[in-house]
Structure 1
Amino acid sequence: MNHIYKHRPQFNSVKLFNEWIILFIITVVLFLASCTAKPDQMAAAAPPPVLPVTTVSTGEQETFVDYPAAIQGTTDVEIRPQISGTIDRILVNEGQLVSKGQLLLQISELPFKAQLNNAKAALQAAQSAVLNAQLEVDKLTPLVQSKVVSDFQLKTAKTTYQIALANVEQAKANVNSAQINLGYTQIKAPSSGYIGRLPKKQGSLVSPSDPEALTQLSDVNQVYAYFSLAETDFINFNAKYEGNSVADRIKHLPAVSLVLADQSVYPVKGKIDMINGQFDKTTGSITLRAVFANSKGLLRSGNTGKIRLGLSHDNTMLIPQSATVEMQDKIFVFAVGKDNKVNKVAIAIDGKSGTNYLIKDGLKSGDQIVLSGLDKLQDGQLIQPDKKGEKIAQLISKN
């Protein structure tokens, strides 16, 4: 009995320990179950995100393509001397607007006046020689008829007379040449325009063989903007506008804009008036020319800019670039289904218009797409569409 009594407390403590172990395990299991249940309950309780949505529709859209352009005046010429001489006077300033025929520079006239006087004197001498030759012919003619002198003398006199006439014509030509050279001492503007730099100064010796011109004159009342199209662009250009010939097609071309170096748009529209007859073999491009009115003189020869061509697209869709995501060289949008779940859809781009994409394939009229918040979306996620996106899309498309 004593033996049994001594071991009874040990039996109770083991049983109690086992019960505590079982209770601990149950507590841990319940705790873990509650922890795993909370996120599911929170996820079920969280509402779907509210995102702006717009409906895609087809219509006529216009895109713009910019091409680098070089600007020149309609008259852009170098002013060079036609004779050698010393500049006597400079009658204009650099950058001055001059009129056609206005005197620009005066070369010293003295040596050319002397040449003209010599030529006139030689002409008078030649004319006197004609008179003498004519007198000789008149004197010998009746003597030959009377057979007083031989016919040979009369023929010689007539030949001398013809030579004297030729000398008169040569003397007249020398007078004209001297008069022309004297006129070249006055260098006049061949057209209206702006004067460039004047590197030569009063007293400088000038010559037609000088490597540097006296100045440059640019008529910029109208300016030409030259730009080039690559072969593929030119093929698309021809296919876009109707016409049976180049001249006929030019008539149907829309007005073009000129984007200046500061990215501002020149306020006057231009017109394409020339397409080159052949491609440049070295660049594989063809040159076109647009003409712009420039009555205020805002443009000068040598300016640069960009010609902006507008291309119209019928039955096309326009969406903001901000409503797209790019992954692995592909562009996607999130289309909204009838159950308000989004699907990632790949689209094909036909071009750009400002900050918008023209859609070639992947969407159809009536489809709804998400405008923003794309970085947090997943394929198949449920959203709550916000129709305010329609107004947002309209504002973006206008910009």
Structure 2
Amino acid sequence: MKKITLLSLLAAFVISCADKSQAPGAAPVPLLPVATVTNENTITDSEYPASIQGKVDVEIRPQVSGNLDRVLVDEGAYVSKGQTLFKINERPFREQLNNALASLHGAEAALINAQLEVDKLTPLVQNKVVSDYQLKLAKSSYRIAASNIEQSKAMVASAKINLGYTNVTAPVSGYIGRLPKKQGSLVSASDMEPLTTLSDVHEVVAYFSLSETDFINFKSHYAGKTIGDKINHLPPVSLILADNNAYPQKGKIDMVDGQFDKTTGAITLRATFPNANGTLRSGNTGKIRLGINHDNAILVPQSATVEMQDKIFVFTLNKENKVSKMPITVIGKSGVNYLISEGVKSGDQIVLSGIDKLQEGQLIQPEKSAPKVAQIINKK
């Protein structure tokens, strides 16, 4: 009996030792990078939808009616100022000019006859051969003939202008749009549809709108007493194209509308961009990226935050190396960083990565020689 009991105790002891050797050890304290929050001067970027137009967008319309004899350009072609684009049948207008010239020649002949009559009667009146009344009638006829010449000259000038309108020329250099009218079409100055549109795009303008709140912030962040002064102090702006790539040339805001749109409650601004290579065309869309300066701002890398239930959190570290989940208030973005107004302050320490598995109050081991948040932001 004693032997069985001894064996039982020995077996229990062996099993106990085996269980202890197989029991998992305590979870190791994670080593995570930590950084100190500091105040920095930065620029936040805000993007606003923009519509792009040429510096000059003009509709080309006929100023006289007639058949379109020739179309001398193609859609999308680049034309120079003064180049002939369309030719309207000129024969009716040339005949009008000939008719006006004939009327002018007749009026000039009538003036000569009236002058001869005055010259003939003047000595006769002086010698009292004929009455003064006849000379007055002759002088009156002379003045009528002179006015007829002026009227005929005006008709000739008008006919020449109309004849010139049969050559439809480019008022500016630029690119031709669509050509809805083809050769042989009857065109008129009263047509609803223009012959084409012409865009001068050596510079383009991008129109975008700011809400009332954004406009108030816009005015408060830049130096200057007037809107004109503030525009002069604005930094260059970027244009983000439809493929999300930035247009290589920077633009300049040069206009703020005089009033808010009553329908949208927004105000329109205009930025001008150089476009020497013709990369941009009228009708392009994009976004204006507007930078706003912030002094002594607190920036937190987006990668150091976690979003839960429409709130954004960071994990702060206390003196005991325990973390706390802290909600933050984001008021803007600067690259890959959040601009913070509440939640953390200068001098606080935050965990930079590995935060997806952290729990409230968890103990961590801060990574030694971790950089400040400002240094991380500057590298990015």
What is the TM-score with the length of structure 2 in the denominator?
Answer: 0.90
Instruction: Tell whether the 8 Å contact from 1:196 to 1:215 is kept in structure 2 after alignment.
Output: yes
Q: Aligned pair 1:53/2:34, yes or no?
A: yes
1:297 aligned partner, one-letter code: G
1:222 aligned partner, one-letter code: E
Distance in 2, Cα, partners of 1:387 & 1:83: 83
Q: Aligned pair 1:314/2:314, yes or no?
A: no
Q: Aligned pair 1:302/2:293, yes or no?
A: no
Partner secondary structure for residue 142 of structure 2 = helix
User: What is the CA-CA distance between 1:58 and the residue it aligns to?
Assistant: 1.5
Following TM superposition, where does structure 1 have runs of at least 4 consecutive aligned residues deviating by more than 6 angstroms?
A: none
Partner secondary structure for residue 161 of structure 1 = helix
Instruction: Tell whether the 8 Å contact from 1:74 to 1:224 is kept in structure 2 after alignment.
Output: yes
Q: Aligned pair 1:157/2:138, yes or no?
A: yes
1:110 is matched with 91
Partner secondary structure for residue 135 of structure 1 = helix
2:68 aligned partner, one-letter code: I
Decide which structure has greater helix share.
1
User: What is the CA-CA distance between 1:160 and the residue it aligns to?
Assistant: 1.4
User: What is the CA-CA distance between 1:54 and the residue it aligns to?
Assistant: 1.7
Partner secondary structure for residue 302 of structure 1 = coil
2:9 is matched with none
1:248 is matched with 229
1:278 is matched with 259
Distance in 2, Cα, partners of 1:340 & 1:38: 31
Q: Considering only aligned residues, what root-mean-square deviation do their CA atoms show, in Å?
A: 2.7
- Number of aligned residues: 369
Partner secondary structure for residue 164 of structure 1 = helix
State the percentage of identical aligned residues: 66
Instruction: Tell whether the 8 Å contact from 1:320 to 1:397 is kept in structure 2 after alignment.
Output: no
Which has the larger displacement, 52-61 or 67-76? 52-61
User: What is the CA-CA distance between 1:52 and the residue it aligns to?
Assistant: 2.3
1:144 is matched with 125
Distance in 2, Cα, partners of 1:398 & 1:267: 23
2:75 is matched with 94
After TM superposition, the structure 1 = structure 2 runs for residues 202-351 of structure 1, keeping only pairs within 5 Å, are 202-351=183-332
Distance in 2, Cα, partners of 1:398 & 1:70: 34
Distance in 1, Cα, partners of 2:374 & 2:28: 25
Instruction: Tell whether the 8 Å contact from 2:38 to 2:373 is kept in structure 1 after alignment.
Output: no
User: What is the CA-CA distance between 1:392 and the residue it aligns to?
Assistant: 9.6
CA-to-aligned-CA distance 1:147-178 (integer Å, 9 cap, x gap): 33333222222221111111100100000011
Distance in 2, Cα, partners of 1:93 & 1:346: 61
2:363 is matched with 382
Distance in 1, Cα, partners of 2:368 & 2:235: 37
Distance in 2, Cα, partners of 1:345 & 1:392: 17
User: What is the CA-CA distance between 1:261 and the residue it aligns to?
Assistant: 0.4
Distance in 1, Cα, partners of 2:116 & 2:89: 43
Instruction: Tell whether the 8 Å contact from 1:321 to 1:357 is kept in structure 2 after alignment.
Output: yes
- Return 5+ residue gaps in structure 2 as ranges: 1-11
User: What is the CA-CA distance between 1:397 and the residue it aligns to?
Assistant: 6.2
Instruction: Tell whether the 8 Å contact from 1:320 to 1:393 is kept in structure 2 after alignment.
Output: no
